[in-house]
Amino acid sequence: MRAHVLMLSLALATGPAVAASSIDPCPDLPSCLARLAELAAVDEPDGGMSGDEAALARRLAGMPEAVPELAARLVGPDPAIAEQASMALARAPYIPTEFLPQLRVGLERGLGWLPPALAAVPGEEAAALAVEHYLADPGSPQNQHGYALRKLGARAIAPLLAAARCGANCDVRRSWLIGQALAENPDGPDAAPDLVALAGDPTVTPSEAAHALQSLEGLGPRARHVAPALLALAQSRPVLATAVEDAAFALRLPEAAPMVARTLGHSPSSRLLQDLAEFGADGGAAVPAVLALLDASYAGPTGMFDNADDLRVAAARTLGAIGDEHVVPVLRAALADERDLRVVRAAAESLGRLRAVSARDAVETVARSHYHPLVRAGAAAALARLDAADTDVSDVADRDGQDAVAGSLNPFEIYTGLPGYLGGCDPLPPARRPRRGELRADRPEHAASLARLSYDAIVLSYGADDADEQRAEALARGEETPIIRVDAGNLLEHRTPVRQVPVAALRVQDGWLVGGSRGEWGGELMFLPTQGEPRQLYDGNVEDIHRLGERIVVTTGLAHLFVSKGRVLEVVREGEDWRATVWRVLPGAPVRSWSLRDGRLLIDTAGGGSVILDADGRFTMACELAPQHS
């Protein structure tokens, strides 16, 4: 299955925010044109549109007689006046075709506000010009060019289809942009049969045909009406089998579910499970693969993101969207999970979504007695669904404000997080004093000892392999702060060696266990033997290392932006080495942790409250606070 290309845009579709106006509208065209020249002399520091400029643009756009004057200024010598004219023309309801040459020159000058003006020009030429500049601009689709295509509506379909006949000029970004434009267009689904027909044309190269199907993917389930013709392509043009599978997946066709199941078997991801959930009942063929991921014995990827624990949570949620009564016993059993409270909540939500009344007693037990308030809240919401027997599922909202519908979740780890927010306790129980062989970065007297335990580490970061070229092109276009585009085609990994001072260390019989934390830049748990080379035991930020009864445990995790994830590792002796495994999952990233005088471990988390963990792996809340909406 082709990897997803994630593109983050910082621009709004209709441009920067517009401030309020401080002037009265000008009374006639001459005074408005004079005012335009005055505003052109004022430099907007943020490159946006002021309230005065917006008011003038609206006034001029309402004057049909202003169009010739404004068009002339697009090609005039003063770029600031041309920019002011473009603001007004972008709002004009009608622009005669005779002024299309001036609009073309204005676009070539890089007048950023001008593209929507093309929607006011009748005829095919203006629509084709809009598509041409949309495909060429590196800021598309979330820019003024994308907005122009949305204003064009059905008129944009024909030139977009013409652009799909890309010949030797096909590339992934071009196909993606065509698909995005069709997805944003109410008439976009009308283009689906033509894209399939293009792919099936025997005179079209396999590469061009595959790119046409990639554009089709942008329409998603809105293009399901072409399913028979699309699936037939796999037989008539076997060379397109993979492209057909990818398109069937994007359209959420039931025929794609077996492919998803195969992919889950060798390359599982939370994002793929989220996509599968959007299949609904049509994803039933993949249920066995999802059940395998939920199994408590599943030993999948490790690390901080998309690890085996995250996949179990995502699997539990996905079953609520694609499963039937046959998955109810498995989800019911998951309610008793002691390792990961997120699995318990996800299983309860899915049982509610499936209307599994046979599991009501188990869900009620969770809602009443689970140690964590956010899990109880999720189970209570599931009970509301179970008890609303005559109400559509979509009419019943979760009590904490977060619905578990798969389509409302996104790939940025929220999918495997714990919905809601819980503050920490204040005050917290006091800690016992560190014992000999326990070092902490927050204790000044330990700084020198920790520095002596420094080790070599690698900081990973990512950028674009053509960043310099993109920056030079943007500066040549007059952009003061270029935005560098990073996608699957230009992603470059940077590996920077550093000397890491541990944030925590614990003396063991033949060396030291030490942990590093660099926030979003990563961290690790290391074993530094008395003799021999250092060995990495775990890839992820370490908050602290503790003795908990007879166990050695490590609090790990990351709180960054909207992500807050934490785990407790257990480190055990294994022959001549040490091994770290995930023992318990925390309700959030550990902010601080310490041993209490009774030997238990207190862990204050980011957004998940303050919890106490005993040597048997049982959690309790350090205090009981009311959950807040996330």
Element (H, E) at 132: helix 124-136
Q: Tell me the mean pLDDT in the region 337-341.
A: 96
- What are the residues whose beta carbons fall under 8 Å from the beta carbon of 195, sequence distance 6 or more? 161, 164, 212, 213, 215, 216, 226
- Note if the bond before 186 is cis, omega within 30 degrees: no
Q: Which of 71-75, 391-395, 460-464 has the lowest mean pLDDT?
A: 391-395
Q: Cβ(468)–Cβ(484) under 8 Å? A: no
Distances (CA, A) of 481 to 42, 46, 623: 20, 10, 48
What would the DSSP string read from start to end of 493-536?
Answer: EEEEEEEEPPSEEEEETTEEEEEEE-GGG-EEEEEEESSS--EE
Q: What is the pLDDT of residues 401-420, one digit of tens each?
A: 333 333 334 433 334 667 77
Q: How far is CA 468 from the centre of its chain?
A: 26
Q: How many percent of the chain have pLDDT more than 90? A: 71
Nearest to 286 by CA among 258, 315, 266: 258
Of 565, 545, 567, 547, nearest to 556 by C-alpha is: 567
Calpha distance 156→129 (Å, rounded): 10
Identify the weakest region by mean pLDDT among 96-110, 136-150, 242-256, 377-391. Answer: 377-391
Q: Looking up tokens 């950023």, which residue turns up?
A: 112
DSSP E strands, 452-606: 455-464, 491-500, 504-508, 511-517, 523-529, 535-539, 542-548, 551-560, 563-574, 577-586, 589-595, 601-606
Q: Give the model's pLDDT for residue 468.
A: 87
**Between 306 and 361, the higher pLDDT residue:** 361
CA distance 463 to 426: 41
**For the ranges 14-23, 72-81, 173-182, 327-336, which has the lowest average pLDDT?**
14-23
For residue 141, whether the previous peptide bond is cis, meaning omega lies within 30 degrees of 0, is yes
Q: What are the pLDDT digits (tens) for 464-493? A: 888 888 888 877 766 777 888 887 678 888
| Euclidean distance between the first and the last CA atom of the chain, given in angstroms as a whole number | 33
Helix ranges (DSSP H) in 278-326: 287-294, 308-322
Nearest residue to 224 (alpha-carbon basis) of 248, 200, 259 = 248
User: Pick the residue with more confidence: 20 or 230?
Assistant: 230
Other C-beta atoms closer than 10 Å to the C-beta of 395 total 8
Cα–Cα–Cα angle for 203, 205, 208, nearest 5°?
120
Per-residue confidence (pLDDT) for residue 411, from 0 to 100: 39
> Residue 426's pLDDT is what?
78
**Full-prediction pTM beyond 0.85?**
no
Q: What is the mean pLDDT of the chain?
A: 88
Q: What is the spatial distance between Cα 103 and Cα 467, in angstroms, rounded to a whole number?
A: 31
Using one digit for the tens of pLDDT, what is the confidence trace for 514-573?
999 999 889 999 999 999 999 999 999 999 999 999 999 999 999 987 789 999 999 999
Provide the pLDDT for residue 214: 97
pLDDT at 623: 87
Segment 6-62, tens digit of pLDDT = 333 333 334 444 444 455 679 999 999 999 999 999 876 556 788 999 999 999 999
pLDDT, residue 629, reads 47
Q: Which pairing describes strands 551-560 and 563-574: parallel, antiparallel, or unpaired? A: antiparallel
Structure token pair of residue 82: 């041309």
Is there a contact between 296 and 336 (Cβ–Cβ < 8 Å)?
A: no
What would the two tokens of residue 339 be?
């390792």
- How far is residue 503's CA from residue 522's CA, in Å, rounded to a whole number? 13
Give yes or no for a contact between 611 and 587, defined as CB atoms under 8 angstroms apart. yes
- Distance from C-alpha of 296 to C-alpha of 311, rounded to nearest angstrom: 11
Which one has a higher pLDDT value, 307 or 176?
176
Is 4's pLDDT higher than 70?
A: no
b/e sequence 249-279, b meaning 16+ C-beta within 10 Å: bbbbbbbbbebbbebbeeebbbbbbbbbbbb
pLDDT confidence band for 301 (50 / 70 / 90) = low
